[in-house]
């Protein structure tokens, strides 16, 4: 046997081993990507959940925006009402005559 023949034989053995390894990887990948039981099913479920969560986040964001607008409107209304009542109180306080404060009588112990 010459060196050339030995190298060709080693190359054929290596190619056969590599073909077997590729066949094994192909079978594992096919099982992994199975849409019913493998990782493909998990990816499909996660994709559906991501879509559902994105919709829920969008709805929550819209609701929070609406609540913020409503709260800002109520705050402005409360500020206006507070200013109105402060003005009313200042007008009444300026117009009303001052009353003399009544003092309690001290009972004289005789």
CA distance 40 to 42: 5
Would you say residue 15 lies in a domain?
Answer: yes
Kindly report, residue by residue over 63-109, the tens digit of the pLDDT.
999 999 999 999 999 999 999 999 888 888 666 566 667 777 777 66
Would you say residue 2 lies in a domain?
Answer: no
* Length, in residues, of the chain: 110
CA distance 82 to 88: 10
Which pTM was predicted? 0.47
From the centroid of its chain, how far is CA 82?
36
CA distance 27 to 45: 23
CA distance 32 to 90: 79
Q: Is residue 110's pLDDT more than 60? A: no
Total domains in the chain come to: 1
CA distance 30 to 21: 14
Kindly report, residue by residue over 8-33, the tens digit of the pLDDT.
999 999 999 999 999 999 998 888 77
Domain carrying residue 89 = 10-93
Would you say residue 5 lies in a domain?
Answer: no
């Amino acid at each position: 046997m010459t060196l050339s023949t030995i190298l060709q034989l080693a190359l054929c053995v290596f190619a056969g081993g590599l073909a077997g390894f590729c066949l094994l990887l192909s079978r594992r990948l096919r099982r992994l990507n199975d849409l019913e039981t493998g990782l493909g099913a998990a990816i499909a479920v996660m994709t559906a959940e991501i879509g559902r969560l994105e919709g829920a986040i969008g709805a929550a964001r819209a609701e929070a925006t609406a609540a913020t607008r409503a709260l800002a409107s109520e705050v402005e209304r409360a500020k206006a009402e507070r200013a109105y009542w402060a003005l009313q109180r200042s007008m009444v306080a300026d117009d009303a005559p001052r009353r003399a404060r009544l003092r309690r009588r001290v009972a004289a112990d005789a």
